[in-house]
Chain A
Amino acid sequence: MIKHNIDIEKVQLDKLEKLFNSFVFLTKEEFQLLLSYCEVSHFEKGDIITCEGETEQFMNIVLMGLVIKYLRLNNHSSVLQLAVENHIINSEISFLQQTPSQVFLEAIEPTTLLSLRYDKRQQLLIDFSKGEELSRKMMEAMYVRKDERKNRMKRMTIREQFLYYIDRNPDMLQRVPQKYLASYLNIKPETFSRLKHLVAKKAKTA
């Protein structure tokens, strides 16, 4: 892992500002202040960002790349989250409670994260008047995403879930190794191949 001071491309910076503004309105100065509490880290493909058993120190936003969060079970792993550009990801229970993480975070592409360290976050909540609101709104967004996913998993068939996801995230079939995507969508590997062919056929006829 290589760490830098804030050195983010203009395009990414604009996207980031837009993301924060979707939670709470920030002036340019407030946005800069917020960034001064954060750090940027780079990870190679395959790097473990957070390990099971260690206490999560960061709250991250993906600036570039792809991060997965998974739970290691006896004979397999279960993928809980796939995070791409502008998604928030960390081992949230571990971070919020400062207890050992139950999950892993791993970069599956070369990845750049904007990260806020736990103690800096606590400081920010004291120093920055909009910190409480921003933090609450970010957690609301995380909650809603999970709630909607849980709801889809309970209501939709495997096939519906697959099509729903691929329709909205067409690039993920290329970006994510099949076993991870299958696990995230709760699909058996053999069923996954069958569904993938279905999408390929659809694309041809369209």
Chain B
Amino acid sequence: MLYANHNSQISSVCNFGFMKDQFRKFVENFLSISDADFALFEERAFVKHCHKNEIITKEGEVEKFLYFVAKGVIQHYFKKGKETITTELVGEGGVVGSASSLFTKKPSLYFIQALQPSILVGISKENLEYLYAHSRAWQKAGRLLMSHFLIKQEQQYIDVLKYPIRERLVRFANSNPDIIHQIPQARIASYLKIKPETYTRIKHVLTEVTIINSQKKSNE
């Protein structure tokens, strides 16, 4: 199992096509895209390698791109005094970018940063609009992607109100099994609005979640 994972990571580093395929799979969760339509995307997308801690978008600058995370972990954050407040954590298969800034052309309210060496498939706002203007399928994909963003944002807000701290952590671990052990726990605590000392006290629930998840995987 470990060995297989290791191999797939190596191939993804070597092969840009592989990452675009990953993106295609992601889009095809929403709708099917013809080869011709996907070619429109491939001509305009680019692959960006980020080193650990690299800043992708700065607070205060207008966002020009959206990125699909092919590998790695990305955070959205801002500084409040000395404190770093994480507002988003996205692992492989997610989409990042300062969306509000991209839509409104207002300065980004936060930083976007790679927490691990990461590989992104990016597209500029202009190219995205080109896709929307030239393809019904991409227009539909854009709308469905926007629904996905809206649902995620609203559910995240509801979860913080609805679930007690321990359950919040378990839910996060269950939906992000890959990133939970890859990033500093202070980032997860900040994202889930859990005080660092509370996090230390309850983090043992993660061991249970990991065991259950690995059992599920081996049963599949």
Which residues of A are at the interface with B, using a C-beta cutoff of 8 A?
Answer: 71, 73, 78, 80, 92-93, 96-97, 102-103, 125, 132-133, 135-136, 139-140, 142-144, 146-148, 150-151, 154-155
A-side contacts of B162, CB under 8 Å: 71, 73, 102
Residues of B within 8 A of A140 (CB): 103, 146
A73, B143: Cβ atoms closer than 8 Å: no
A118 to B95, CA, bound (A): 27
CB atoms of B151 and A147 under 8 A apart:
no
Complex contact B151–A73 (CB within 8 A):
no
B123 to chain A, nearest CB (A): 15
Q: Which of B10-18, B35-43, B152-160, B212-220 contacts A (4 or more CB under 8 A)?
A: B152-160
Query: When A and B form their complex, which 8 residue pairs have the shortest distance between CB atoms, in order from nearest?
Result: A132-B139, A136-B143, A139-B146, A147-B100, A144-B100, A140-B103, A96-B147, A151-B109
Q: Which residues from A are CB-within-8-Å of B155? A: 93
Question: B99 at interface (Cβ–Cβ under 8 A)?
Answer: yes
How big is the B interface, by class?
20 to 34
Q: B161 within 8 Å of A by Cβ?
A: yes
B39-88 interface (Cβ within 8 A of A): 78, 80, 85, 87
B195 contact set on A, CB distance < 8 A: none
Chain A: which residue is nearest B161 at the CB level?
Answer: A78
A133 touches B153 (CB 8 A): no
Q: Which of B110, B132, B143 has the most CB of A within 10 A?
A: B143
Q: Judging by beta carbons under 8 Å apart, are A133 and B158 in contact?
A: no
Chain A residues lying within 8 Å of B161, measured Cβ to Cβ, are: 71, 73, 78
In contact, A144 and B103 (Cβ under 8 angstroms): yes
Could you say which of A97, A136, A146 contacts B153, with CB atoms under 8 Å apart?
A146
